[in-house]
Chains A and B, each alone.
Chain A
Amino acid sequence: MNLLRSEWTKLRSVRSTWLAALSAVVAGVALSVLGVSDLLGTSSADLPPRWDPTAESLKGFLFAQLIIGMIGALSVTAEHGTGMIGTSLVFVPSRSRLLAAKAVVVAGLTLLISALTTVLSFTAVQVMLGSSGLPVAGPGDPGVARALAAGTLYLALIGLVGLAVGSLLRSATQSLAVLVGILLLVPALGPGLPGAVGDWFARFWPITAGQAAYAVVPGAGTLAPGPGILILAVAAAGITAASHVAFRLRDI
Chain B
Amino acid sequence: MNQCIDRSAAALLDDDILEWDGILSRISGSKNTLASVLLTGTTDTTGIRALSLTKNYGRRTAVKELSFTAAPGVVTGFLGPNGAGKTTTMRMLLGLTRPSSGTITIGGRPLARLDNPAREVGALLDARATHPQRTAFHHLLAFAQTMGLGRGRVDEVLGLVGLSQVAGRRTGEFSLGMNQRLGIATALLGDPEVLVLDEPLNGLDPEGIRWARTFLRDLAREGRTVLFSSHLMSEMELTADDLVVVGQGRLIAESSLDEFVRANTVQAVTVRAAAPDELARALTRAGTGVSVQPDAALLVTGTDTATVGRIAAAQGIALIELAPVRESLEDVFLRLTDDATEYEGQPA
Contact = CB atoms under 8 A, between A and B. Distances in A.
B147 A13 contact: no
- A-B residue pairs, 8 tightest by C-beta: A83-B129, A13-B138, A6-B145, A9-B142, A14-B133, A91-B118, A251-B97, A91-B146
A84 B98 CA distance: 18
A15 interface: yes
Interface in A62-95: 78-79, 82-84, 86-93
Interface string B102-145: 00000000001010011001110110111111110011011101
B153 interface: no
A13 B142 contact: yes
A89 B128 contact: no
B129 A6 contact: no
A3 B146 contact: yes
Interface in B148-183: 148
A14 B134 CA distance: 5
Contact of B96 (A6, A7, A78, A90): A90
B54 interface: no
B135 A83 contact: no
A10 B146 CA distance: 11
Contacts of B131: 10, 14, 78-79, 82, 84
A86 B117 contact: no
A110 B131 CA distance: 21
A83 B198 CA distance: 13
Interface of B: 91, 94-98, 112, 114, 117-118, 121-123, 125-126, 128-135, 138-139, 141-143, 145-148, 186, 190
Nearest to A89: B96
A252 B94 CA distance: 11
Contact of A84 (B96, B130, B138, B190): B130
Contacts of A89: 94-96
A43 interface: no
Contact of B117 (A2, A14, A78, A90): A90
**Most chain A CB atoms below 10 A, which of B112, B117, B145:** B145
A230 to B, nearest CB: 35
Interface string A194-219: 00000000000000000000000000
B138 A90 contact: no
A83 B123 CA distance: 13
A250 B180 CA distance: 27
Given A5-B145, A9-B138, A252 B96 contact: yes
Given A9-B138, A13-B135, A84 B145 contact: no
Contacts of A252: 91, 96-97
A79 B148 CA distance: 21
A78 B132 CA distance: 10
Interface in A1-23: 2-3, 5-7, 9-10, 13-16
B147 A91 contact: yes
Nearest to A12: B138
Contacts of B97: 251-252
Given A2-B148, A91-B118, A9 B133 contact: no
B145 A9 contact: yes
A251 B138 contact: no
B147 A82 contact: no
**Most chain B CB atoms below 10 A, which of A79, A83, A84, A252:** A84
B94 A83 contact: no
Contacts of A91: 117-118, 143, 146-147, 190
B135 A93 contact: no
B126 A86 contact: yes
A87 B171 CA distance: 15
Contacts of B91: 86, 251-252
B96 A251 contact: yes
Interface string A209-252: 00000000000000000000000000000000000000000011
B123 A87 contact: yes
Contacts of A93: 95, 112, 114, 117
B154 to A, nearest CB: 10
A14 B148 CA distance: 21
A2 B96 CA distance: 21
A88 B140 CA distance: 11
A91 B139 CA distance: 13
Contact of B129 (A3, A10, A86, A92): A86
Nearest to A7: B142
Nearest to B118: A91
Given A10-B142, A86-B96, A93-B112, 14 more contacts: A2-B148, A13-B134, A14-B134, A82-B128, A82-B132, A86-B94, A86-B126, A90-B96, A90-B118, A90-B121, A90-B125, A91-B147, A252-B91, A252-B97
A78 B129 CA distance: 10
A90 B94 contact: yes
Contacts of B96: 86, 89-90, 251-252
Contacts of A251: 91, 96-98
Contacts of B138: 9-10, 13
